[in-house]
Amino acid sequence: MPNFLALRASPWSDPVRKLLTLESFSRTEEDAGVDIALARKSVQDPAIAAHFERHARDEFKHAQLFRARAAELRAEGVAAPRDGQAEKTYDLELTRGVSGANAHGFLRGSDYEEQGELAYVAMLHVAELRAETLFERHMRALGDDERTRAIFEEILQDERYHVAYTRTLLTRWERAGRGAEVKRALSAARGASFIGAWKRLGAHSATGFARVLLILSYCTWVAPFGLMARNSRARTGWREPPAARDAALDLRAQY
Amino acid sequence: MYVLGLTAFQRDAAAALVRDGELIAVAPEERFTRNRHEAAFPRAAVRACLARAGIEPHQLDALVLAEKPSRSFERLLFAELTRYPRSWRTFPTFLLSWLGDRLWARSRLAQEVGVSSDRVLFVDSQRARAAWAFFTSPCEQAAILVSDDAREGATTTLARGNGGQIEILAEVHDLHGLTGLGAHAARHLGFAGVEDLGRFERLADHGSPSRRTELAHVLAIHADGSHAVSIDRLADALGPPRAAGAAIDGAGGAANDAGVHADAAASVMLALGDALLSAARELHRRTGLEDLCFGGELAEMSSLNARLLAEGPFRRLWVPPAPGEVGAAAGAALHAAHVLGAPRARPLDHAFLAEDVILDHDRTSAPVDAEERIRRAVDTLCAGGLVGWMHGRAEIGRQALGHRSLLANPRSADWRERIAQTVGRYEGGLGLPCAVPEERAAELFEIPEGGRGPARFRALRVRPREHAREWLGAALQPTKCEGPFKGPEHEATWIEPQLVDARVDPAFHALLSRFGQRTGLPVLVTLPLCRSTEPTVRREADARELQRRSDLDLLCVDDRVHAGPTLSSPSSKPADSAHAHAIHSR
């Protein structure tokens, strides 16, 4: 039986949210591909390098699949989002923020050297498991959109391979006497994922709270400024530019 | 020294890379995401620029955003306050968006690109556009006019360029500006806004400016050449709105019976032209120079450029390719590089600064040499077919300039219908967008001497000479346009030529010349190679997909040639049976 809450929160029922979600997935997959391709450059073991190479290629392919589907929707006339709709998107980018990891849990490829291959592969494993579950859930909530379902099915096959090869690598290290290290790395990766979810919840709550505060401010202390601005007469005609600053200093200034 | 310029956080995000003062790559993000006017952070564009130079982010000497975010924030905050209390819904969203992200642009950019935050620089958006217009021009000294969205406050800017320096002389600060007026009018008539100004301009071709008087209350032009826009009165001045996607009203009682919507568009175009001309006269009075460099979104409109040159005080006009957001990214990089000590860039003689063709790995066809490729393309065009022409680095901007182009024979009777079938929509207005060898242009079209610069990038409308009108025949015949433009039949009244220089683009020049030798008229219709709802194709696979879904008879991609189903089908009915026989017998 489909999870009612998951369906209710699903972005697939609204064409605009569907479009934005596909585009968000595309960006995240592309980022993941770049991260892994970067990590690949630092890998010494040829077997791991080959896995990373295919993994990066898969992520780019997924990005392309999501992008192409989004383009189809746009061609069918799904319009750009209006105010507020973008916030309801399942935007993986918004969930970025745990130690530089993205929503799938991928770290920047440059962290590979700092973390070492075992921690990186453990992180990949946890991230891919999570992605597999996430995509399966999205696929169940798709409704009758067979085109998008086919894309998810294709991607899920790749995700299963990603889970399998990372598991094989971790098992190999366990057998080589690094069991405790593998366990620690997996716990750390899962912990990062949990902390990420906690932070996301916090961020959503904070946004809602901030919105209420801003509306209250708007109705109270912003009001006199609003009335003043509304009654101010706009200056028309040519304006001389402000006195020139030193060009190099001007370049550094945000104002 | 490497300087990366960016436009981000709004439509048409892009990146551009300058090495030792020379522009080496420009990348609009939309080409990668396949989403027109992409507003997402231009990550793929940044990567493409860095890859072109073969460098990593830490090797960048500077990263420049074409905007001063704090000033934009101040302007937008004031705009929200002036709408008090109607802005109660947008105010929290605006503040959350800016306080949560955009106001901290320095750290966001540093993090996104992977450079240290002390290398992140900012150039005022109007200055960036002015730099793009001036530094790409062949002028040592020139007056510079920029008109674009209100970003930091200024909407129209007068400036003087001298060598490597740009001096801002005066600015009009307005909540909306001329571009905002055009965008609001376009939305009133059912278009998307700034993104659809091109379609809006073409709709104006069908109308007469019968509402110019009413628009005087919306756009006031002052004696000193400045102007002020009052958007609140626009709806009243333009008359009935049109819902997006609805047919253009053709039942109006305007003088040429073109319909009330077309009349409204024509009135706005006339008003915009009047305002720009007044500003140009003031700029000429202040500088006394003979060359004008025109930048900003309005410079995309070839009818306004033609008016500036024909009725304005300047002898020569320069309009760079992609004068809006994409150009601003490059302008910001060029300006910053110059301030940091690099020499001024060489004048821009082509727009082929985007990515190379991405070829399919699975080669299904044998390479075809250049001579044979041209012969097959000319055969197809002579037979009334459509050709996709894709080679080298892509052009930047909206115009097709011969590297990602859809080509048609202007003398075939049904080229408009066939293009509409291929790209999904053709709203060409009453003109003929075409390419012609530079050395033949003067004998065919009335190109003013001072307009050869913009004509290289198809940014100028001109009239055909009398004998060319006869030659062009079918291309100028009265026609009804496809899509929502269902006005009465009109004869084409203008030509938007691209002058093709043999030194800059020998392959395309050779194709035009060979076509001219065969038909007597070296002119081909050129449109962007893409569906009308998508950005220009980037990969061979995109172009082949377009060919599969459409009526494209021949696709030439670098040294590969792909024939479409029409050419291999015996039931096709090409315009010229002799040429058709030649094709089928191959």
Cα gap A166→B264, rounded to integer Å: 63
Q: Write the pLDDT tens digit of every residue in B406-427.
A: 999 988 877 777 887 777 666 6
DSSP state, residue A177: I
Burial of B417 (0-12, 13-18, 19+ CB in 10 A): middle
* pTM of structure: 0.78
Question: What are the structure tokens assigned to B322, written together?
Answer: 């992609």
Are β-strands B463-464 and B316-318 bridged in parallel, bridged antiparallel, or unpaired?
unpaired
Q: Write the pLDDT tens digit of every residue in B117-131.
A: 999 999 999 999 999
Q: Best interface-test mutation with A: which of B6, B34, B232 has the largest number of A CBs within 10 A?
A: B34
Range among A153-157, A210-214, B87-91, B306-310 with highest mean pLDDT value: B306-310
Positive or negative, the Cα torsion across A92, A95, B106, B126? positive
- Does residue B451 have a pLDDT over 60? yes
Q: Write the pLDDT tens digit of every residue in B503-520.
A: 999 999 999 999 999 998
Q: Residue B159: which of B150, B149, B147, B151 has the closest Cα?
A: B147
Contact call for A71 and B35, based on CB within 8 A? yes
ipTM above 0.85 for this complex: no
Which residue in A67, A225, A254 is closest to B81 by CB distance? A225
Q: Which residue of B has its CA nearest to A30?
A: B44
Contact call for A254 and B69, based on CB within 8 A? yes
**Beta-bridge mates of residue B563:** B554
Q: What is the mean pLDDT of residues B218-222?
A: 94
E strands, chain A, are 238-239
pLDDT reported for residue B570: 39
Confidence band, pLDDT 50/70/90 cuts, at residue B239: confident
Contact call for B339 and A23, based on CB within 8 A? no
Instruction: Report whether B349 contacts B486 (CB < 8 A).
Output: no
Question: What are the structure tokens assigned to B504, written together?
Answer: 């800059």
- Does residue B27 have a pLDDT over 50? yes
Report helix, strand or coil for B234: helix
Contact call for A255 and B68, based on CB within 8 A? yes
Q: What is the mean pLDDT of residues A77-88?
A: 52
Contact with chain B for residue A252, Cβ under 8 A: yes
Cα gap B200→B206, rounded to integer Å: 11
Q: Residue A69: which of A57, A78, A80 has the closest Cα?
A: A78
Worst-scoring range by mean pLDDT, A9-13, A46-50, A75-79, B489-493?
B489-493
Q: Best interface-test mutation with B: which of A218, A231, A240 has the largest number of B CBs within 10 A?
A: A218
- Residues in chain B with CB shorter than 8 Å from the CB of A68 are 34
Q: Which helix (H) or strand (E) holds A50?
A: helix A46-75
Instruction: Report whether B226 contacts B279 (CB < 8 A).
Output: yes
Positive or negative, the Cα torsion across B101, B107, B110, B111? negative
Q: What is the mean pLDDT of residues A17-44?
A: 82
Cα gap B430→A235, rounded to integer Å: 40
Instruction: Report whether B480 contacts B416 (CB < 8 A).
Output: no
Positive or negative, the Cα torsion across B218, B216, B264, B310? negative
Question: What are the Cα distances from residue B250, in Å, to B242, B478, B487?
Answer: 12, 17, 5
- Residues in chain A with CB shorter than 8 Å from the CB of B535 are none
pLDDT reported for residue B185: 94
Report helix, strand or coil for B24: strand
Positive or negative, the Cα torsion across A54, A58, A64, A67? negative
pLDDT reported for residue A200: 65
Q: What is the mean pLDDT of residues B475-482?
A: 56
Question: What are the structure tokens assigned to B473, written together?
Answer: 């025949």
Q: What is the mean pLDDT of residues B377-393?
A: 93
- Residues in chain A with CB shorter than 8 Å from the CB of B85 are 218, 223, 226
What residues have CB less than 8 Å from B211, skipping those under 6 apart?
A: B237, B238, B239, B263, B264, B267
Question: What are the Cα distances from residue B32, in Å, to A125, B86, B483, B534, B537?
Answer: 29, 38, 27, 11, 10
Cα gap B180→B177, rounded to integer Å: 5
- Does residue B325 have a pLDDT over 80? yes
Report helix, strand or coil for B358: strand
Confidence band, pLDDT 50/70/90 cuts, at residue B473: low
Contact with chain A for residue B95, Cβ under 8 A: yes
